[in-house]
Chains A and B, each alone.
Chain A
Amino acid sequence: MTENTPYIAISSIRKGYRLGAEAIPIFSDLDLSIPRGDFVAVMGPSGSGKSTLLNMLAGIDGPDAGTLRIGTSRLDQMGESARSSWRAHNMGIVFQFYNLLPMLTAAENVELPLLLKPLSRKDRRNRVEKVLDLVGLAGREKQYPAMMSGGEQQRVGIARAIVSDPGLLLCDEPTGDLDRKSADEVLGMLRFLNQEMEKTIVMVTHDPQAALYANRTLHLDKGNFHEEKRAA
């Protein structure tokens, strides 16, 4: 892989769903390149395929045809267990509704992805403390999700996504459930992760203000991307 090779390379992707006997096409010939370290916002109307794209990038859904490469991994050629392992080591995901497990504390939620790695209990605890500190939740380790605000829960969600130090961060409407202030804090944090920690971020959002935090915005419509031109 050369320096110019994109980190995410989607080529001639075809994807559709069946609704009974009816076939519903989402993408018929989708191409996309994202370089390493980019922060891309994906916008588009409902049903345009944003979530389908994110699911394919996360390896939880596969294309019907075409190639999907992230780093050196061909996700379109992987079986389910290989994709599970790939997710555990290469990708973090931030959900709209945080999706924290209610019976686990903040620290335990963050620790979850580390259970899949050969780390000692002490190493896991150190990493959890470090990322919770990074997202501004030091000292809140033992709090349960129900004891936290939406913004704080989302910060726990971000900590969980980055704790195993993945190269790719996928965000599915990360501020969709937050007030403006909390949303700006979360988005600022994502920008920090992109700029300071060189994470490649793909963020699906409906919020044009959220998209401004990204380096560029792609509009997905009728199965094709259109890049938004920004004022210099």
Chain B
Amino acid sequence: MIKPVYLDYAATTPMDPRVRQRMLEVMGHQSGFGNPASVTHVFGRTAAAAIEQAAAEVAALVNANPDYVVWTSGATESDNLGVIGGARYRQAQGRHVVTAATEHKAVLGACAELQRHGYEVTYLQPTEMGLIEPAAVSAALRADTVLVSIMHANNETGVVQDIAAIGALCRAAGILFHVDAVQSAGKLPLDMQAQYVDLLTLNAHKACGPKGVGALVLNAATVKRVEPILFGGGQQRGMRPGTLPVHQIVGMGETARLLQLEMAEEVQRILTLRDNLWSGINDLPGILLNGHPEQRIASILTVSVAGVEGESLRFAVDDLAVTSGSACNSATGEPSYVLRALGRPDVLAEASLRFSLGRFTQPDDIQQAITSFRRAVTHLRALSPEEL
């Protein structure tokens, strides 16, 4: 059997050994196992210090105040806390939220929850290139709008939104701006001040860190807190109670440190691999790039294939760990709602593959992907009655 190639970094990533090592260092009996809230003894203080260092590393990646890093269980919780907690924090000013139809389901689900509690939500439609135009955001703002949530880079297409422009609009109107930056962290520069971001969602496992940890970063200059969505002890100023998982947070801190240290070189390397992949398949007829050709992150290439059936396409490339749309959507078997929003008909949305590359992707992996993809498409086209 051919060794499978992992090209699903947008779903999750293998952990960097350096991150694993840092995590192990705080899992010993004499290191970081203490409860960071137990500052009355050295074990707790050691853990608290490790948390502080991790917060500094995460904050440095996005130009934020480390005191305003709220640790969560991952991006879904961060998105929920940012959208629901942010909107509820501002509910005295109104109950209207603006987001995009192409957001991650963690944001869409949070918006649906707000709607169940009397909020109104405007879902912006993207252009056929996947862009959310700042003018469309501006047109959707109302006197009672309290929060706008637009992701930085889309998890299915990699399309990058102009968050600085959208953020400026929100700032001028006094509206909270939440950004899910899970796919863009470490791939694009993030600066919460320059990009006018008030609430930022991050996680670790999309960037070669551990699963089960994320953060909602607040812009200390513009928002002091959000309403909690979990209740219990008073940890993290009551915004997100619960004992902090020190080893995971330390892992996320190290993940952020490595991203900042290696971003420029890593992005260029991945971009070259992605472009090689695209040039190796795009001469086949009927290969359609999904999303904007330039305004996208280096790590994602999503294509639709005309004239072949989606399930057979995925089966025919079973030596490649790729998905059709997002991993979350692959689980349901439904065609991607993101690709549908871009105007792709169901047949093309179904016959799509997302290749997502990362830190450990090698040139040989890309060559295998090209070979496998070409063989699959050629085989299925030969079988197609449309070719007769």
Does chain A bind chain B?
A: no
A residues near B, CB below 8 A? Answer: none
